Amino acid sequence: MQQLLRNGQELVIRPATLEDAPALLDNLRIMTRETDFLLFSPEEAMAIDLAAERAFIQSYLDHPNHLLLLALVEGKVVGSVTVNQGYFAKQAHRGEFGIGVQHAYWNMGIGRRLITATLRWATTHPQLEILHFSAFANNEKAIQLYRNFDFQEHGRIPQGIRHKDGSYVDLVVMSRRVK
């Protein structure tokens, strides 16, 4: 899916391929240095090697019930979104959703477009009925974006995240029906 951003740059949202492994790994490493809103720490991202990143992508290619999309601006990977369908039969109607965009590309509509692409995919998925995730409670802009897409807050996990400095952040549990 090719689109233009407000600044005139070209945005492409597409599934990842194995050839994207170096760029996707670089993207993760950049994002973990820019924000604490991701589960990975910079040290954990640096510990991932190219073979592991290829295996990560291959795991999505091997499972058509999962989704891994990339956001590329002028050919550079600047964000991604994943959906992992529940493994067990009783959870197969649920997909866990995750998204990240590099800080330099925030407020350009990329997150919104990744969510739109994800929702389009989810509505055609034969089993998925619900997308769910947990967001850092202090990530207010992201939570508002999710609310704009009709994701509902269902509760909190107090102190669900513990940062390296020992501080805690609640996790906000959110979901949305797609069918």
Structural domain boundaries in the chain: 2-133
Q: What is the pLDDT of residue 6?
A: 86
Range 126-147 average pLDDT:
97
Query: Does the pLDDT at position 129 exceed 90?
Result: yes
Q: What is the mean pLDDT of residues 118-129?
A: 96
Taking only the tens place, the pLDDT of each residue in 9-59 is 999 999 999 999 999 999 999 999 999 999 999 999 999 999 999 999 999
Compute the half-sphere exposure of residue 156: CA atoms within 13 Å on the CB side of its CA. 11
From 3.40.630.30, 3.40.640.10, 3.20.20.140, 3.40.50.150, which CATH number describes the 2-133 domain?
3.40.630.30
pLDDT band at 2 (very low <50, low <70, confident <90, very high): confident
3 state SS of 45: helix
CA distance 104 to 138: 19
User: What is the C-alpha to C-alpha distance for residues 136 and 45, in angstroms, rounded to an integer?
Assistant: 19
Residue 84's DSSP bridge partners are 96
pTM of the model: 0.95
